[in-house]
Amino acid sequence: MIPKKLLARMSGRDPSQLLTLAYITAFAIIALLTLASHALTTHITHKQRESAEVLQALGKQRGYVQQISYYSTHYYDQGQQIDYDLLVQALEGLKESHRFVKDMIDDMDSGPNMFVSPLKPTPLASASDPALQHDEHTVQKNVLYRIYYTAPFYLDSEIQAFISEVEKFLQYDKANTSKERQKSRDYISSRFTRYFVPSLDAALEGYQEETLEKITLYYHRQVFSVLGILFVLFIEAAFIFNPLVRHLRRFHKMLHTIAMTDPLTGLKNRRAFTADTQAALNEGHRNETPLVVALTDLDKFKNVNDTYGHDVGDKVLQHFSEILRTCCREGDIIGRIGGEEFALVLPKTGKNEGEKVLERIRQKIEKTPCTYTDENGKPCELTVTVSVGFVLAQPGKRAELDALLKKADDGLYTAKEQGRNRVIFVPNDA
């Protein structure tokens, strides 16, 4: 109830003063909500940039571990100095990227609901540990923290143990044929496929999914801000609400596109490629139509980065992506799923037709040099080749994407073994 004295005072006021006061109040609330929305947009942009940096670092970790596995084997078998130097270089890269990811885990979303360094559990910690119970929400939500510091991955401890083993391996003389050195080599070689591939892939996929969930949550908060503006000043809805909603929709679509797109090439990233391919597999099963799944890998791409620099390497990746776009047909699915590894899905396509498309891509990249400008501003050209492995999903047979990619990867491996720059078909017996 409003006191009678106050009602009397209000009734004696000029109505324009009340309207002005109401307008100023509404305007102030709208201004506050707009500033809050702007701050949220800035936060989303920061998180998106942070996410891209973390995903890049995780991808680098996977690449460095693979390089270490490869060069340690070569150095053990052949004892060449170049393999030793490349092994040392890959080890330093792994250390740097690992430190970066750990620092990001420490910094991201820091606050009262996040773990700090002193509370990180040791590899022996369990779900009943008081440190873990300190913030169950964080353990459930922060996928990178779980994979790096909790069961079953303990990726931080595993990487540190892996680094220590590589450093131990480097201390052996190249002529040493002891069982200890062989055991060290075998450990380094086996850890990549048996442990680090599933662990780092889980980190990549989980962090991408977590980032997308956060983006959606922030979008919902922005919508609530807009609804608050409408509630406070619905008369101005025609002048404020429609532009804001259009902006929010565009912004959300942009964020969703960023979360599903490889930032360097503009192609689908692994998450988007997997989703679209699964839909194509389901459609092919329903309609009993064949489907080709292919993996491509630029030959000796590491040499391009080492010789010409990563800027030229990025140019080569963009150049190859553009060739994929021009050579593939409408409806084909193209995705970048690794550093220089790209995946293709050709719906409603048989073996012979698919082989023609993939061979056209191989010939196109071989005959079309990548143009770039060197440090002196001189135009240059660089010719690269590509190896391709592909498999056919038979009509009427339900096929699992992971199994098809594994078959295509076997074909890609065969193409590399046979001299690179070729297309290899792998029969699908399943």
Provide CB contacts within 8 A for 321, sequence distance 6+.
Answer: 265, 266, 267, 334, 336, 342
d(CA 320, CA 386): 9
Q: 89-115 burial, b if ≥16 CB within 10 A, otherwise e?
A: ebbebbbebbebbbebbeeeeeeeebb
Provide CB contacts within 8 A for 367, sequence distance 6+.
Answer: none
Q: Which overall architecture, per CATH, does domain 270-426 show?
A: 2-Layer Sandwich (3.30)
One-letter amino acid identity for 188?
I
What per-residue confidence (pLDDT) applies to 137?
39
- Long-range residue pairs from 362-369, CB within 8 A, at least 24 positions apart, any chain: 362/386, 362/388, 362/421, 362/422, 362/423, 364/323, 364/326, 364/327, 365/320, 365/323, 366/421, 368/319, 368/323
Of 144, 272, 136, which Cα lies nearest the Cα of 199?
Answer: 144
Are 107 and 92 in contact by the 8 Å Cβ rule? The answer is no
Of 203, 194, 15, 169, which Cα lies nearest the Cα of 88?
Answer: 169
- The ranges assigned to domains in the chain are 15-260, 270-426
DSSP H helical segments within 127-174, as ranges?
Answer: 130-133, 136-141, 143-149, 155-171
d(CA 361, CA 334): 12
What per-residue confidence (pLDDT) applies to 133?
38
End-to-end CA distance of the chain: give it in Å, rounded. 77
What per-residue confidence (pLDDT) applies to 121?
39
Per-residue pLDDT of the chain (430 residues; tens, 9 = 90+): 334 443 344 444 554 455 456 557 667 777 787 787 777 777 767 777 777 777 787 778 888 888 888 888 888 889 899 989 998 998 999 889 888 888 888 776 454 343 333 333 333 333 334 344 334 434 434 777 887 888 777 888 888 888 988 899 889 988 888 899 899 888 888 877 777 777 777 777 777 777 777 777 777 776 777 677 667 666 655 555 555 556 667 767 777 677 788 888 989 998 899 999 999 999 888 888 999 999 999 999 999 999 999 899 999 999 999 999 999 988 899 999 888 899 999 999 999 999 999 999 999 999 999 999 888 889 999 999 999 999 998 887 777 888 999 999 999 999 999 999 999 999 987 5
What per-residue confidence (pLDDT) applies to 207?
72
d(CA 170, CA 187): 13
- pTM strictly above 0.75: no
